[in-house]
Amino acid sequence: MQNIKSMTGFGRCEITEGARKVTVEMKSVNHRYLDVSIKMPKKLNFFDASIRNLLKEYIQRGKVDVFITYEDTSENNVSVSYHPEVAAEYLSYLRKMGEEFGLEDDIRVSTLSRYPEIFTLDDVEIDEEGIWRILEKAIRGASEKFVETRITEGENLRSDLLSKLDEMLKHTAFIEERSPVIIENYKSGLVARVQEMLGDTNVDEGRLLTEVTIFADKVCVDEELVRLHSHIEAVRDTLLEGGSIGRKLDFLAQEMNREANTILSKSSDLEISNRGIELKTGIEKVREQIQNIE
């Protein structure tokens, strides 16, 4: 028996190596497909595709929000470069201007340094391999804890759903036992009414049988009960099998609901109607919980 997972989960992991620290938090709710939203520093955008591929190892369905923070206390994003050849050219032209126009030579280092391209800021090459190494560890750590919470809640869902299926089987068993009684009661009531109307005149057994047969066809739910019972057992087997079963369970729940609706629409008996309503209520509860299974 494999584990089943809820689509609701949470995981957090913080990894520190030297001056680098990465924190990853994950949380999710139910969703028809896998929908991952990642919030992280711009400098980590390069790893977006790798992060998404890594998450697919742990998650098949759900709306997942991932929050990543990154710190590196030893890292400078830019470096300063000095270009003496540019400074020399500026200085040469400034002195030439002074001579041509008879201006005082008041050139200072601070003045010269403000001219463009003497000092430039260059981006420092990022250590992608080193960053990914610690980032991957943090993501895997958060994902493992995330999956643990999903499994815990998934096992609780499995137990609760199995209990609800047992209740539904009790309702179907009652309807199976009650259905023949309804037909027999209808026949007895019909005979009594006919005899009351005709007195001692013999009842036409053939006509009576025809009327009872027509009524039985209208209220017969044998096929619906067989299919409903089969669907309930299929849900039970699927739950016990485990794995990624959410979509299959959702389909089976829809089929159960269809059969319950037909049973309820054919019912002319108060007790069966009440059980039919209980069945529909139980199926609706099952459908709601199935929506949260991966």
Domain ranges of the chain: 9-73+127-151, 78-123, 155-290
pTM passes above 0.85: no
155-290 domain in CATH 1.10.230?
Answer: no
User: Which of the listed CATH numbers 3.30.230.70, 3.30.420.40, 3.10.580.10, 3.40.30.10 matches domain 9-73+127-151?
Assistant: 3.30.230.70
**Whole-angstrom Cα distance, residue 109 to residue 70?**
39
pLDDT at residue number 80: 76
First to last CA, the chain: 16
pLDDT at residue number 269: 78
| Cβ 21 vs Cβ 137: under 8 Å | no
pLDDT at residue number 203: 57
**Whole-angstrom Cα distance, residue 227 to residue 263?**
11
Residues of the chain with pLDDT under 50: none
pLDDT at residue number 120: 80
pLDDT at residue number 105: 81
| Cβ 259 vs Cβ 282: under 8 Å | no
